[in-house]
Amino acid sequence: RGFSEDVLNHFDVGETFKGPFAYRAVVPIYDHTGRMALGFSGRSLNNAQPKWMHSAGFARSRVLYNQFAAFREARRCGSIILVEGPCDVWKLWEAGYHNAVAILGVSLSDAQQVLLESSGANKVIIFLDDDQAGQLASGKIVAQLSRSFRVQVAQAGQGKDPDDLTIDEVKQILGRLK
């Protein structure tokens, strides 16, 4: 999908051709320390459905992908960027934004909201896919978070996902938000 080898190595992304994640890019989802894998997500390499699948028993509603690194950066810069999936986090990482977390879908759970409130950020930038589900979810998440954070919404436009954008486009979109 065009991600640099450095970014894929940084996030420990691999691929497998056997077992339940056959023909998928396998993504470990680490705990808040960044050391223990809580589960795995796999993205289809050949457009098989579902596009993403998760390891059995993995409670994705209780974690934020890239939490450890993003929270460290959020404490430094005061903001956190909320995206849908790991590929979006990788694109933002390549663009120099290390404060992005993925909610692993389009809904923010109560447990994920509690995690965000412990991030050290005072601002949340919602940067979901520019499709109907992402737009609807953005509105709901704004309502959920507006009591605890200053909230802004970034939009890729033209029906794009953040990971569809070029590095320059990501910088332009996020650079407009102050």
DSSP string, 13-28: -EEESSGGGTTEEEEE
Radius of gyration in angstroms for the set of CA atoms belonging to the chain, rounded to a whole number: 15
Structure confidence by residue, pLDDT tens digits, 18-38: 999 999 999 999 999 999 999
Task: Tell me what pLDDT residue 2 has.
Answer: 86
What integer pLDDT is reported at residue 178 of this predicted model? 72
Q: At residue 141, what is the residue type?
A: I
Query: Residue 97: which pLDDT band, with cuts at 50, 70 and 90?
Result: very high
Question: Is the pLDDT score of 1 beyond 90?
Answer: no
Q: Which residue in this structure is represented by tokens 């802004």?
A: 152
More confident residue, 158 or 144: 144
Confidence category of residue 170, pLDDT binned at 50, 70, 90: very high
**Mean pLDDT of all residues in the chain?**
95
Contact 26, 12 (CB under 8 A): no
In this prediction, residues 106-123 reach a mean pLDDT of 97
The share of the chain scoring above pLDDT 70, in percent, equals: 100
What is the per-residue pLDDT for 124?
98
Place 91 in a pLDDT band, splitting at 50, 70 and 90.
Answer: very high
